[in-house]
Amino acid sequence: MVVKKKSISSAASPWTEKGKYSKTNEIHYSFLKPQLRHALLLCFLLSVWFVILRCFLLSSSMSENNIEKLNVDEKAKTTSKSSAISKCEGGMSVYLYDMPAEFNKGLLKDCSHLNAYTDMCPHVANRGLGQPLSSMVESAVATTWYATHQFIAEMIFHARMENHPCRVLDPINAKLFYVPFYGGLDASSKFHDANLTARDELAIRLADYLRSKPWWERHHGKDHFLVLGRTAWDFLRRNNDFGNSLLNLPDVQNMSVLTVERNPWDLVHNQHGIPYPSYFHPYTSHQMMTWQNKMRQSSRPHLFSFIGGPRRGVEKAAVRDELIRQCSESGRCKLLKCGKGPSKCHDPIEVLKVMSQSQFCLQAPGDSFTRRSTFDSVLAGCIPVFFSPHTVYTQYEWFFPAGDAREYSVYIDENALKTGNGSERVVSIEEELFKIEREKVERMRSAVINLIPRLTYAHPNATDLGFQDAVDVALEALWAKRLKLNV
């Protein structure tokens, strides 16, 4: 059901004829006896009451029909593309390689050392979903909410594919081949290893393993794909830089690589951006629509918000500092500042609370172009505001609308926020957002909320979703790519 949201009070902007008595009837009644006149008057009043009641019931019925129609329309928007993917029509079928444990689940045995900065043991639990958010306020089903780590998509994708309707057990019948390699966890466990050979060791063994398989030789890997939970930069090491050389390997360059951030200047054209995982992992379309409707009805007293901290020693530091300054000085902005040590910005419930109460969410680049916060804001029905085209526009072509980006987002060039850029003054974010007409804001929010299903990773145990999730969207795009390559 589409429900118009109540706009914040400060955001106002350029946005039966009465019956007549019959003279003849009056004369006629004058000749009747009083008792008969009273009886006729009573009948008349009862008739009028019956007509009014009938009209009310008809109106109520029409309203219910309209509401039901709106519910059907919204469900149609959510599920319009789900049937083909759930039935795997068009011949699409995926074979899931049964890899030696050293390439995926075997890595989890040493989960406390999978990341130089974080103990990953709580995050790899529940097949990569992490710890349940049992305290999620007013959620339809608490077990659909988890404190999911931002760099864990490779595990969730694997778990989802194990139970996916398009999976086939015989490689002879497969058109696509999925290689479940936990490359992100391997890379992050060796970030500070001075031995570059050790960093590349598992990636090189993966290439050797694939070349030994008959299904690889059929098309030299062009019908194969792997999923990485970290950014492409972690696998494109040059000289003695950080990360490993997985994406530099010729065999891997034959494959399609799905990663949460691709290299926008990818010359091989084999990298494709997939969403960072957020906290919501539904089993059914009913759970999805319940959450979408909740976000449509959410009260949003803040014009905009920013969740993040400053950066040092990077080019993006100036933009971050300006966003924090403008937000902290505005009475229409909610700032959730991140820093070292405990912070509310690391609490999923606090993050979603701020975003679901905001009209717009500022999405400044972080250590790299993209950030998980973009997908958190969409989940919360908050319109994202971007400052670099590489935060979304050049990254996730499979997942965001290919048309006008202004339908679901706002773009402010980061140079407009820097001093000494040749302009008379730094652009005011508040002024730019405040002048967007209320009707347009409502349309943009509706577009954002309609994007939630395709940017969400469903629960791995889900069998009949009724909508396309992020995994389904990726498979459909990979299938289209394979058909185009004619392999």
Residue position matching structure tokens 């009837």: 25
Residue 60 has a pLDDT of 42
Q: What share of the chain is helix, strand, coil (3-state, %, to 5)?
A: 50, 10, 40
* 307 DSSP assignment: E
Instruction: List, in sequence order, the alpha helices (H) in 220-310.
Output: 250-254, 285-296
Q: What is the pLDDT of residue 322?
A: 92
Tokens 């000494």, residue located: 420
What pLDDT, on a 0 to 100 scale, did the predictor assign at position 222? 95
Name the burial class of residue 4, with classes exposed (0-12), middle (13-18) and buried (19+) by CB atoms within 10 angstroms of its CB: exposed
Token pair for 215: 């299904």
Q: Is 0.95 topped by the overall pTM?
A: no
Instruction: Tell me the C-alpha to C-alpha distance, in Å, between residue 91 and each of 85, 157, 166, 241, 256.
Output: 10, 21, 9, 43, 19
pLDDT of residue 231: 97
> Would you write out the chain's pLDDT as a tens digit for each of its 487 residues?
334 433 333 333 323 333 333 333 333 333 334 554 555 566 566 665 555 555 444 444 443 344 333 343 444 444 444 444 556 877 899 999 999 999 999 999 999 999 988 999 999 999 999 999 976 644 445 589 999 999 999 999 999 999 999 999 999 999 999 999 999 999 999 988 999 999 999 999 999 999 999 999 999 999 999 999 999 999 999 887 889 999 999 999 999 999 999 999 998 899 999 999 999 999 999 999 999 999 999 999 999 999 998 877 666 678 899 999 999 999 999 999 987 767 788 899 999 999 999 999 999 987 899 999 999 999 999 999 999 999 999 999 999 998 899 999 999 999 998 765 555 678 999 999 999 999 999 999 999 999 999 999 999 998 778 899 999 999 999 999 998 887 7
| Closest C-alpha to 276, from 228, 308, 316 | 228
Q: Under a CB-based contact definition with an 8 Å cutoff, are residues 177 and 111 in contact?
A: no
CB of 258 closer than 8 Å to CB of 160: no
pLDDT for res 421: 54
Contacts of 156 (CB under 8 A, 6+ apart): 127, 128, 129, 148, 277, 281, 457, 460
What pLDDT was estimated at residue 150? 97
Is residue 161 within 8 A of residue 180, CB to CB? The reply is yes
Lookup result for tokens 């060039």: 413
- Rounded to whole angstroms, how far apart are CA atoms 316 and 123? 28
Rounded Cα–Cα distance for residues 217 and 394 (Å): 32
CA R_g for the chain? 29
At 70, list the tokens: 């709106």
Those residues whose C-beta lies under 8 Å from the C-beta of residue 468, and which sit 6 or more positions away, are 81, 82, 85, 453, 454, 476
